Chain A
């Protein structure tokens, strides 16, 4: 479980996060939604320690991250897997080397054992026979899947996904969403997905947080989202005709 307490972050004069507090449950897909520029990616980067907030705390299973020594932070980080919007695979390494990288850095596994673990992770994300290819030789969807394989290589306790299905076709996006949900349940990870893809929210969202203007505006599950009367939330989630029709079909609500 990850708890965020009173998190505030500013860049120069611009206040990006304003005292955000939230709890992200273990074993479920926690989604953070919001408009572009609302601060959701900054929130994720604060939680993983890429940005240092001016105020607030982040607790990983009760362990306060910002109060930790560098060594303790390194230990926590080895428990974190992250899937980036751009996949962030290392261009100069093959698919296999990308997945083996965390093992090379943090374990004393023999080469054969690392290869076997990489093969298992790649098979889990349905990448077979591509071990020797370089990231540039893969499609966007495949790169995301290799990114997931690398993120789960050390069996993380916490999984972060920043816009995991941006730039993907709808079919591949759904596959990635399902994969993240399956892995969350399989490994019992605390998963946080940053997204503004409403299909993804409807497919896999279990604990959804809406950020608006740097603040936590709303939090609930899918059903509560469909039933919500909050104007800001409705304007964002049901911006398209398709989403409004979907809500009408499920709940009978017109407005």
Chain B
């Protein structure tokens, strides 16, 4: 099916999702559950990736800065800028597109092929809204927290490397972290994160919701959801950078 068909159906799906919310209390309860499922349960992988990401950025920057006229604190500065501007919001979001996106597409796809979504529709429940809206809200709320944690842990990873290996002194590293800091970079990163969270949840839910067939198709929807949300994240990343930083 053509790209235009999918774009049209995606926006029609979004209209359904925000169309008619069911009982507010149930939605709140479901949103809290999704915060735990999509956010809190991703904390481990985010933490692990972030620490190593920060450590590697510090090592690589240090090994590539060998000119005597470049001050060593540039290592800390570069690590901070790379982590805040790009690595934490974009790379972690791409990882979450794989982990959370495939989970959402598989969950909703399985519900579709097992007729559970039909059951909701027949009861008179707006199935798209009931299943998807709490996920979107949860991800848009919790992902910025995950990314802020990722930023701290990445910078912490770099600091541990500076102590452990001596490629840069901890003092230089910390001086670099504080040098020429623009708080807007964090705002920019968080805006990106919220947009990426919307892309991850809606694209995955769209593919899951329109699954037809059986287990094989659920797997296919899951894979397609990850591929498309990753591509859209990269495009949105470029556009947001152009809009907000240039």
Contact = CB atoms under 8 A, between A and B. Distances in A.
A66 interface: no
Interface stretch (A56-64, A100-108, A120-128, A168-176): A100-108
Contact of A77 (B26, B116, B123): B123
Contacts of A2: none
B12 interface: no
Contacts of B123: 77-78, 80, 101-102, 105-106
B114 A88 contact: yes
Nearest to B37: A92
B114 A48 contact: no
A49 B124 CA distance: 10
A50 interface: yes
Nearest to A162: B115
Interface string B9-25: 00000000000101100
Contacts of A70: 20
Contacts, number: 54
A45 B117 CA distance: 13
Given A74-B124, A78-B123, A105 B115 contact: no
Which of A48, A50, A102, A105 has the largest count of B CB atoms less than 10 A from its CB? A105
Given A77-B123, A105-B125, A88 B26 contact: no
A88 B119 contact: yes
B103 to A, nearest CB: 13
Contacts of B125: 105
A106 B126 CA distance: 12
A73 interface: yes
Contact of A86 (B20, B114, B122): B114
A105 B26 contact: yes
Contacts of A86: 114-115
Say which size band chain A's interface belongs to: 20 to 34
Which of B114, B118, B123 has the largest count of A CB atoms less than 10 A from its CB? B123
A88 B122 CA distance: 12
Interface string B111-133: 10011101101111100000000
Given A86-B115, A88-B114, A88-B115, A105 B22 contact: yes
B124 A82 contact: no
A55 to B, nearest CB: 22
A250 to B, nearest CB: 36
Nearest to A154: B123
A77 B115 contact: no
Contacts of A77: 121-124
Interface in A114-170: 160
A218 interface: no
Interface string A62-76: 000000001001111
Given A104-B26, A105-B22, A84 B115 contact: yes
Given A88-B116, A90-B116, A48 B122 contact: yes
Nearest to B113: A86
Interface string A23-65: 0000000000000000000000100111000000000000000
A21 B19 CA distance: 34
Nearest to A83: B119
A85 interface: yes
Contacts of B20: 70
A114 to B, nearest CB: 13
Contacts of B114: 86, 88, 91
Contacts of B124: 73-78, 105-106
A76 B121 CA distance: 12
A100 to B, nearest CB: 12
Contacts of A75: 124
B23 A50 contact: no
Which of A73, A75, A77, A160 has the largest count of B CB atoms less than 10 A from its CB? A77
19 contacts: A49-B121, A75-B124, A76-B124, A77-B123, A77-B124, A78-B123, A82-B119, A82-B122, A84-B118, A84-B119, A86-B115, A88-B116, A88-B119, A89-B116, A91-B111, A101-B123, A105-B26, A105-B123, A105-B124
Interface of A: 45, 48-50, 70, 73-78, 80, 82, 84-86, 88-91, 101-102, 104-106, 160
Given A77-B121, A86-B115, 10 more contacts: A50-B121, A73-B124, A82-B119, A86-B114, A90-B116, A91-B116, A101-B123, A105-B22, A105-B23, A105-B125
